[in-house]
């Protein structure tokens, strides 16, 4: 049974038209006109217990609107949502006890209080048993190094420290589901990897279901096996990340270090896209040549010192899908692959 069920979900917003001039402003007081914006348009998907799913799309695609409906903040215009059997907007309090939410640019902590006092307040709000509270704090401190700033007011925390505190706060009450909205935004490389390690840990060892929205494709690649791709309020793709790579990543790069500089390198079906000293970056079509075939052909003609293979970055593949304006049906049937 799925933990999250979304069926034919739609959300429309009415936006008041702004009329120019004083006369227009006065007319709007008595006869206001509206335009309708469709933010989410007939979206359906289900997510099972323990899954880690990337929910991605460009700005304005409907990601945040969907998350707000799943958390009970917004009421759908039509369609159905069930989160662990609950209808979020009808049972907000019960739903809040089973979910954790982290928004990268906002905090759920009390700004002027020491960080530890925010945790203590959350303990009271969620009525967390003392033993469980101590166990969770010990685990979070071990992985996230919370001790170094627990006595520091939240407003004085660095961005990396605040994000670590926020994700700990979101998980303090043992939620079944964790919604992450840009959890690594603005973090340096070390802080990002620490955050990712913690997310993997709670997903693997506690079975927490994770829904991740982000513009950082490296977050998706390193955390999620499944990806839901949306644009203009509709689902474009829902499936394994590897399938996107297999379908649209038909070109690969073979990086070869030769024993000596080669001026006249050539091989059918291979394009030299870059060279530095004795190193060459060779682009080839994986549907025409296999890497092993090329390596064999190159080694027959030249002395090779080292060799490696580079797959196309997922960010490039996703961008190309958007630029080609593929629909869900076209993603895997269109022969004009990237």
Q: Do 294 and 268 share a domain, yes or no?
A: yes
Residue 28 covered by a domain = no
Residue 336 covered by a domain = no
Percentage of residues in the chain having pLDDT higher than 90: 43
Q: Do 238 and 278 share a domain, yes or no?
A: no
Q: Do 240 and 262 share a domain, yes or no?
A: no
Interatomic CA distance for residues 310 and 6, integer angstroms: 37
pLDDT (average), residues 121-130: 94
The model's confidence at residue 137, banded by pLDDT at 50, 70 and 90, is: very high
Q: What is the pLDDT of residues 72-101, one digit of tens each?
A: 999 999 999 999 999 999 999 999 999 999
Lowest mean pLDDT among 29-33, 105-109, 239-243, 331-335: 331-335
Q: Do 231 and 279 share a domain, yes or no?
A: no
Does 39 score more than 80 pLDDT?
A: yes
Residue 335 covered by a domain = no
- More confidently predicted of 164 and 22: 164
Of 193, 222, 244, which marks where a domain is finished?
A: 244
Q: Do 266 and 118 share a domain, yes or no?
A: no
Q: Do 67 and 119 share a domain, yes or no?
A: yes
Of 195, 226, 244, which marks where a domain is finished?
A: 244
Beta bridge partners of 82: 5
Residue 6 covered by a domain = no
Q: Do 223 and 89 share a domain, yes or no?
A: yes
pTM recorded for the entire structure? 0.77
pLDDT (average), residues 20-30: 67
Q: Do 194 and 265 share a domain, yes or no?
A: no
Total structural domains within the chain = 2
The model's confidence at residue 337, banded by pLDDT at 50, 70 and 90, is: very low
What average pLDDT does the structure give for the chain? 85
Q: Do 237 and 263 share a domain, yes or no?
A: no
Q: What is the pLDDT of residues 296-317, one digit of tens each?
A: 888 888 888 888 887 666 666 6
CB atoms within 10 A of CB 84: 19
| Domain carrying residue 193 | 44-244
Of 200, 216, 244, which marks where a domain is finished?
A: 244
């Amino acid at each position: 049974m799925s933990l999250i069920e979304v069926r034919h979900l739609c959300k429309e917003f009415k936006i008041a038209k702004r009329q120019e001039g004083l006369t227009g402003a006065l007319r709007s007081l008595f006869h206001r006109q509206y335009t309708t914006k469709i933010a989410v348009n007939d979206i359906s998907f289900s997510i099972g217990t323990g899954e880690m799913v990337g929910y991605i799309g460009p700005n304005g695609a409907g990601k945040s609107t969907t998350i707000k409906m799943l958390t009970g903040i917004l009421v759908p215009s039509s369609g159905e949502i069930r989160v662990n059997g609950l209808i979020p907007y009808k049972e907000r309090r019960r739903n809040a006890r089973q979910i954790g939410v982290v928004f990268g640019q906002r905090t759920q902590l009390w700004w002027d209080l020491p960080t530890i006092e925010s945790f203590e307040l959350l303990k009271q709000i969620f009525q967390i048993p003392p033993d469980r509270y101590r166990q969770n704090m010990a685990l979070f401190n071990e992985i996230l190094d919370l001790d170094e700033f627990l006595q520091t007011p939240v407003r004085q925390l660095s961005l990396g420290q605040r994000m670590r505190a926020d994700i700990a706060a979101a998980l303090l009450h043992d939620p079944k589901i964790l919604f992450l909205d840009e959890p690594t935004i603005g973090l340096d490389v070390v802080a990002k990897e620490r955050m990712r390690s913690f997310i993997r840990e709670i997903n693997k060892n506690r079975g927490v279901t994770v829904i991740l929205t982000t513009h950082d494709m490296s977050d998706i690649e390193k955390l999620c096996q499944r990806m839901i791709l949306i644009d203009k309020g509709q689902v474009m793709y829902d499936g394994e990340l590897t399938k996107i790579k297999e379908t649209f990543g038909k070109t690969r790069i073979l990086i070869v270090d030769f024993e000596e500089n080669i001026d006249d390198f050539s091989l059918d079906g291979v394009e030299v896209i870059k060279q530095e000293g004795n190193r060459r970056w060779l682009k080839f079509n994986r549907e025409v040549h296999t890497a092993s075939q090329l390596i064999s052909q190159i080694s027959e003609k030249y002395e090779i010192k080292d060799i490696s293979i580079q797959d196309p970055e997922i960010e490039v593949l996703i961008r190309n899908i958007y630029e080609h304006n593929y629909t869900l049906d076209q993603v895997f049937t269109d022969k004009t692959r990237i």
